[in-house]
A and B are shown apart, each in its own frame.
Chain A
Amino acid sequence: MTVGETILKLEAVRKSYVKAQRSVEALRGIDLTIQKGEFLAIVGPSGSGKTTLLNIVGCLDLPTSGSVLYDGRELGRMTETELSAYRKENISFVFQSYNLIPVLTVQENVELPMVIERRFSRGEMRSKALEIIRAVGLDQMADRYPRELSGGQEQRVAIARALVKNPIVVLADEPTANLDSHTAEEIMSLMEAMNRQRQTTFIFSTHDAMVQKHARRVIVLHDGLVSEDRKEAA
């Protein structure tokens, strides 16, 4: 797969769910095409459908109607097991509250996706984890536990964990929401650097204008619809 090639296509994606006995339509017909290597921000007010869209793109949830195609494969036609396997191999997540496993060290947290994949030897996992930990600037902290790290450091570990298995796409839901502006800037710069070096597609949701300005493409959601899709200057 080369840079610029389409990796993900959403066609007329709708998602509704029941909340407090009321049907809520979170997405009302999204059409979107994403190319490899994009650094894309999804923005919009609360309740506009950002997280729902990320969950569908991340194969954590399926649309009520419409289709999601990864590499031309329709997600809706996959079984639960196939979906889980696809997610395991191709998609990574960075969460707003980091969500590291508190009882595992930095290195063990980073190794976790490879442990689940069961494709790597112990030595391979170790060297790959150390390499990415070094890349996010935490090589002195590989043996520390999450509780011994600052918020920014934890998010770096989460990014390392997301990148270690070379996924097609990294999805980040409000990755800087819990960080101060200086640390948020550092994290965005790190994600950007990783995107450029590894050509990994990053899709992140944000409210923050400073974060938005790092994106090379911005999709604005409003009431479950794409209200704007603009390219930013690199």
Chain B
Amino acid sequence: MSTIIRIAFRNVIRHKRRALITAITMMVGIGFFIALDSLYNGLDRLSVDDVINFRDSSVKIFSAAYDADRESYPLDKGIPDTTAVGAWLEQDKRVVAVTPRTQFLAQAGNNRDSVYVIGNVVDPVSDAKVFLLKNALIGGYFTQRAGSDRQVIVGKDLATKLRLSVGDTVVLAASTRYEAQNADDFTIVGLLSTSDPALNKSSVFITYDAANDFLDLGGLVTEMDVRLEPRASLPATLADSTAVAAATKAAFPTLAPYSFQDLNKGILTVLKQKRAWGYVMMLFLLLIAAVGIVNTVLMSVYERIREVGVLKALGFRGREIVRMFILEGFFVGCLGSLLGTALGALINCYTIYVGFSLAKFGDVGGGFVFWGTLRGEWNPGSIIFAVIFGMVVAMVAAYIPARSAARMTATTALRFV
């Protein structure tokens, strides 16, 4: 066996130019596969992070009573003891911050037209630790002057529809906690421009100070939102979300905690389908590389058929000859996979640690806004897959012509020109 390994290895070295061309073909295929996979992961992460940062947080908690009637945004079924729940959550090392929110149905108008909206009552200080509304604002955030003028942040598209801008007044009308109708003027301090069209088109944000008066809330909190420590990979992020939601349910059975997966099954399904198509495209990339490998290995085998004849005349068995060529394919595959992994890792280093700013894409229409930085993500599974794929393709590519060469009689192989 050692002689077969020696012959195979030295043949790779002897035909180093051809081996290098094959390895470079593999390097490009595998390298771009790894890099594209990383970017796909990054895109998935960006989508999930946007939902976490602007809409759902990492874990969302309702009271069980509110949860049963959640679609109608009731203002009489809040979380009884938010302080106790908040204190318990903050003991968990994974929890970064907790904030209360209260959602209500309202109409926003400009004295001529009005639009149904979902109102969000927030505590500006703690909310900014859980959500990143501040990062997606045109204009400013709430100015903290307790009990002072009524301020509101509205979605950018909503403001456009009502022909309003920062500094203008919007009229909000809603039922109070005790089902009395109330309407009041709010000053727009900021316009929200996120990647979530629903937030941009039909959301308003006011403070608890304003809402306690406007809606007679009396401090009612209908949901608590939890921000968890950022994790390097999406699966780890989702796992943390599930674990914290489950622990909260165990500690507070009367609450209804929701993990990211619970709230966003649809998004995760779409991401999964998108990923499947992405893999199909990336596999095409690898197959193109595979064609290059097959071609060069075929040349290598056919050039050396006389050598096969000599080995057979000396007493080598067919399977030993096949093994020798497969080993050559393996060595070239190792080299190509190694180079491909290095190239992929290099591109990943840039995409993961520097990233691509999406700000320049801006508003692409249809309410979709690109913002932030697209970063890749390490995916050891796909790196291992690409490396194994490269080696297997190189070995299979070597096997097919080697088998036909090994089946030749020594005399035919020796006469082969």
Contact = CB atoms under 8 A, between A and B. Distances in A.
Contacts of A87: 313, 315
A84 B414 CA distance: 16
A95 interface: yes
B319 to A, nearest CB: 12
Contact of A104 (B7, B306, B315, B317): B7
Nearest to B320: A116
Contact of B310 (A55, A85, A95, A117): A95
Nearest to B1: A115
Contacts of B10: 103-104
A117 B315 contact: yes
B306 A55 contact: no
Contacts of B411: 55, 60-61
Contacts of B409: 60-61
A87 B313 CA distance: 8
A87 B411 CA distance: 13
Contacts of A101: 7, 307, 310-311
A115 B6 CA distance: 12
Interface size class of A (residues with CB under 8 A): 20 to 34
Interface string A191-208: 000000000000000000
A108 interface: yes
- Give the size range of B's interface with the partner: 20 to 34
A94 B314 CA distance: 10
A112 interface: yes
B7 to A, nearest CB: 6
Given A61-B409, A113-B314, A116-B315, A104 B6 contact: yes
Nearest to B410: A60
Question: Of B14, B316, B410, which is in contact with the most chain A CB atoms at under 10 Å from its CB?
Answer: B410
B310 A113 contact: no
Contacts of A102: 14, 307
Interface in B312-341: 313-317
Interface string A81-118: 00011011000010100010111100010001101110
A113 B313 CA distance: 10
A84 B310 contact: no
Interface string B1-41: 00100110011011000000000000000000000000000
A117 B307 CA distance: 18
A113 B312 CA distance: 11
A103 B14 contact: yes
Contacts of B14: 102-103
Given A95-B310, A99-B310, A101-B310, A84 B7 contact: no
Contact of B6 (A55, A60, A61, A108): A108
Contacts of B306: 99
Contacts of A117: 315
A113 B315 CA distance: 7
Most B CB within 10 A of own CB, among A58, A84, A113: A84
Given A60-B410, A61-B409, A116 B307 contact: no
A99 B10 CA distance: 17
A138 to B, nearest CB: 19
A88 B410 CA distance: 13
B11 A93 contact: no
Nearest to A117: B315
Contacts of B307: 99, 101-102
Nearest to B11: A103
A109 to B, nearest CB: 10
Interface string A105-133: 00010001101110000000000000000
B7 A95 contact: no
A87 B311 CA distance: 12
A87 B314 CA distance: 8
Nearest to B310: A99
Contact of B314 (A55, A103, A108, A116): A116
Given A55-B411, A60-B411, A112 B313 contact: no
Contacts of A104: 6-7, 10
Contacts of A116: 314-316
Interface string B269-313: 000000000000000000000000000000000000011011101
Interface of A: 55, 58, 60-61, 84-85, 87-88, 93, 95, 99, 101-104, 108, 112-113, 115-117
Instruction: Give the 7 A-B residue pairs with the shortest CB-CB distance, closest first.
Output: A88-B315, A103-B10, A116-B315, A99-B310, A115-B3, A60-B410, A60-B411
16 contacts: A55-B411, A85-B315, A87-B313, A88-B315, A99-B306, A99-B309, A99-B310, A99-B414, A101-B307, A102-B14, A103-B6, A103-B11, A104-B6, A113-B315, A115-B3, A116-B314
Given A99-B306, A99-B307, 9 more contacts: A85-B315, A87-B313, A95-B310, A102-B307, A103-B14, A104-B10, A108-B3, A113-B314, A116-B314
